[in-house]
Chain A
């Protein structure tokens, strides 16, 4: 089989689905070029590329909407202490006075209150903290592991390559969400362990993407030249290969944040994630399940928050991909 098919990341991997970002298709994937595909993005070379990319990104309305939304969410949660609690109530304080629980949306409580009388709007806003933190930290962990292993694999090839790529196969063969659940069972369900687990499970995709980028850059003449001049492996990697292989990683990382947010919500929904009383969107939906019919607002808003935030990252990722795509320039 040809190598390029291995380079292609799975369309699901950016945004895990219920069925779990099951990336079984290293060999099998004769998948077509998806809009989400990255292999076409490899081989960037010029410095001015970033300027061009920004110009192109700016023209992409959807990507800009995504960006604005992400910035807005970040600003809202960062400043939440200043305005949410005074206006709507503390997201943690329980209110057991009769009539306080399960109020339908009103001016005072725009998203209603939950079973324990807490303001749902406040909890949704604070929930963004959990989601964004988990998303960013998880992807950082995936990046750290994935880039390292991908670099080893791509640069040294042979035995290391085989080992890393076979391990990646094993990770892909495992049903994704079940793997995450098993890891959480080992680590214990908590805020910290959720991003660790998601982070650990994310490395194979990153490693593959990075490895293929490296493979395509490695054969370039300037790398040979550097090597001939006696540059160390480390130096070659960071000075010459990294900068040219980074674009797909940026795109991929952005999309993965969205995926990590959904996974966190899913794990929390199953009780294997963030623990109460911490407000997390997935946890809120899990609480809402038994009250779905009686208090639909408990279901609607946290889910809507997940949807919009993840969508923002997906649109951003799409935009970045288009902006950084060499092919698009032609």
Chain B
């Protein structure tokens, strides 16, 4: 071989290598296109596999204190309450109770339990286990943070005072019949008992100790070992479950420090379901495909963007000197471009809110609040009408918020919007603790909060937030007419009539513009490509009972 040839060969080799490296580099991203998945429809669900679900360290997993999302996720897998909700429509469905009925004025509720349902320790679930569980929550000695779920039940106040040791209104008529008497009629009470915290508890296991670390429930999954703090919570299928047998063998709740970590884990293939950090949504949709209904994940349709039953709003202090004027409140509310916030800050993973009750709650109405539109012109007119033409003479208002949770971005946009109509606003960020103090002390001007439904009913977005005597009414909105209507709706047993009434109430409140709804939350979650029929409900609970995994 001549010297020259060798030189050429070498050159060729170098070029070849270079091209193949470049080719590889060029190809690499393309491999991440939405995976072509063979239609698995004809196959049908198969059993097996462990679903890896990301959570952050829960506060509690004992129903006694199921109030935050992470613990509730675990709790709902291990426990079943009397009723359940359809994960997509939020329709009420039987669970531990196979049927139930109220008396005529909805003050006495009778629940008929499923017979033969068992706790994970093998003992049968009876009506008295519910009584025990509910009294456990209401007994102040147990330091439950959520007894308010049962505030309507007769005997609740006495238990909280410490003057009674049992709930007078809860009676185990026999092993399979639970009778609940309320202090006042409440047609929506059936929804309340669907909360994961109101599940039955086996007293003998609580007395045995360590229930908080390894609760024994009646749900489709049982814990196999105590909670490994900061690491994982493992559950496996409960073979004696009374309901439909789940397809998956178990769930590993993988405890990670935060969403960013979980997202990395997901990309590495170690987690089956996680939230997507803002800024990554579009990339993820391009890569994994979007779910058509927003709630159900299947391969190639893995990104979920369905509306959640939660609303984000700006509070206006209705007692404030300037803001007590409804015309001012309307003007400010009209000035805010909700769509711009959703798009700029959240990549459209939130939806502008033009009312307070989110889509997905039965009775939802479009554009319920007249003044939640974006209309700068009308805002200016109203401001002039209120005596501040072009914002003249309008004092600088303060936008208060809690730091470290991304609210800054939202409020900076609001600040800009206010400027458009001549209203100067300044931001005042503070820590959550301090912020809460200020809300309670009624010293804020404009603040922010979010409201997440515990039960999928309109009442939950109206009564607590706007009844003048509700402790959650941080706008300090007082309209006695609305109070009356809210009370009336609660005792209206007829479903259609009640819903109509709630719709009226929502619009009526909207007319006073006591606060500014900004956005409804949406999912921003993604499932791995082995997840089949993975439904993440509008209330943010994963349906572990029906999901299955491609093997």
Contacts and interface: CB of A to CB of B under 8 A. Distances in A.
A and B touch in the complex (CB under 8 A): yes
Interface of A: 93-94, 96, 98, 101, 115-117, 185, 188-189, 270-272, 275-277, 287, 289-291, 293-295
A189 B412 contact: no
A116 B344 contact: yes
Interface in B395-428: 403-404, 408-409, 412-413, 415-416, 427-428
B340 A96 contact: yes
A94 B403 contact: no
**Which of B337, B344, B403 has the most C-beta atoms of chain A within 10 angstroms of its own C-beta?**
B344
B367 interface: no
A94 B340 CA distance: 11
Contacts of B430: 188-189
A271 B337 contact: no
Interface of B: 260, 277-280, 283, 337, 340, 343-345, 403-404, 408-409, 412-413, 415-416, 427-431, 433-434
B344 A275 contact: no
Contact of B403 (A96, A117, A271, A293): A271
A272 B344 CA distance: 25
A226 B430 CA distance: 54
A273 B408 CA distance: 13
A94 B337 CA distance: 13
Given A93-B416, A94-B416, A188-B434, A276 B278 contact: no
A25 to B, nearest CB: 32
B416 A275 contact: no
A275 B280 contact: no
Given A188-B430, A275-B427, A290-B278, A96 B412 contact: no
Given A185-B431, A189-B431, A290-B277, A96 B409 contact: no
20 contacts: A96-B343, A115-B279, A115-B344, A117-B344, A185-B433, A189-B429, A189-B430, A189-B431, A271-B404, A275-B427, A275-B429, A276-B408, A276-B427, A277-B415, A277-B427, A290-B260, A290-B277, A293-B280, A294-B283, A295-B279
A188 B433 CA distance: 10
Nearest to B283: A294
B260 to A, nearest CB: 7
A189 B279 contact: no
A114 to B, nearest CB: 10
Contacts of A98: 343
**Which of A116, A275, A276, A291 has the most C-beta atoms of chain B within 10 angstroms of its own C-beta?**
A276
A276 B412 contact: yes
A92 to B, nearest CB: 8
A324 to B, nearest CB: 42
Contacts of A271: 403-404
Given A115-B345, A271-B404, 10 more contacts: A94-B413, A115-B409, A185-B431, A271-B403, A276-B412, A277-B412, A277-B415, A277-B427, A290-B260, A294-B280
A96 B345 CA distance: 9
A290 B408 contact: no
A277 B429 CA distance: 10
Contacts of A290: 260, 277-279
A275 to B, nearest CB: 4
B455 to A, nearest CB: 32
Contacts of A93: 416
A232 B6 CA distance: 94
Contacts of A275: 403, 408, 427-429
B374 to A, nearest CB: 12
Contacts of B403: 189, 271-272, 275
Contacts of A189: 403, 429-431
Contacts of B429: 189, 275-276
B259 to A, nearest CB: 9
Contacts of B344: 96, 101, 115-117
A272 B402 CA distance: 11
A294 to B, nearest CB: 5
Nearest to B406: A290
B401 to A, nearest CB: 10
**Which of B343, B412, B434 has the most C-beta atoms of chain A within 10 angstroms of its own C-beta?**
B412
B431 A96 contact: no
Nearest to A270: B404
A275 B429 CA distance: 6
Given A271-B403, A275-B427, A96 B278 contact: no
A180 to B, nearest CB: 14
Given A115-B409, A188-B434, A291 B279 contact: yes
A122 to B, nearest CB: 15
Contact of B409 (A116, A272, A294): A116
Q: Please list the 5 inter-chain residue pairs (A to B) with the smallest Cβ-Cβ separation, ordered nearest first.
A: A271-B404, A276-B408, A96-B340, A275-B429, A94-B416
Nearest to B408: A276
Given A189-B431, A290-B277, A116 B404 contact: no
Nearest to A117: B344
A274 to B, nearest CB: 10
A1 B164 CA distance: 67
Contacts of B434: 188
A90 B415 CA distance: 15
Contacts of A293: 280
Contacts of B413: 94, 96, 116
A290 B409 CA distance: 13
Given A115-B344, A185-B431, A189-B430, A96 B337 contact: yes
A207 B360 CA distance: 64
A287 B409 CA distance: 9
Contacts of B345: 115-116
A103 B427 CA distance: 26
A287 B406 CA distance: 9
Contacts of A115: 279, 344-345, 409
Nearest to B411: A276
Nearest to A184: B431
**Which of A98, A115, A270 has the most C-beta atoms of chain B within 10 angstroms of its own C-beta?**
A115
A231 B416 CA distance: 63
Contacts of A287: 409
A294 B286 CA distance: 15
Contacts of A270: 404
A293 B413 CA distance: 24
A116 B410 CA distance: 10
A276 to B, nearest CB: 4
Nearest to B280: A294
A276 B429 CA distance: 8
A16 B260 CA distance: 27
A291 to B, nearest CB: 5
B251 to A, nearest CB: 28
Contacts of B409: 115-116, 276, 287
Nearest to B402: A271
Nearest to B415: A277
A94 B430 CA distance: 22
Contacts of A117: 344
A308 B344 CA distance: 32
Contacts of B428: 275
Contacts of A289: 260
A185 B430 CA distance: 9
A48 B404 CA distance: 53
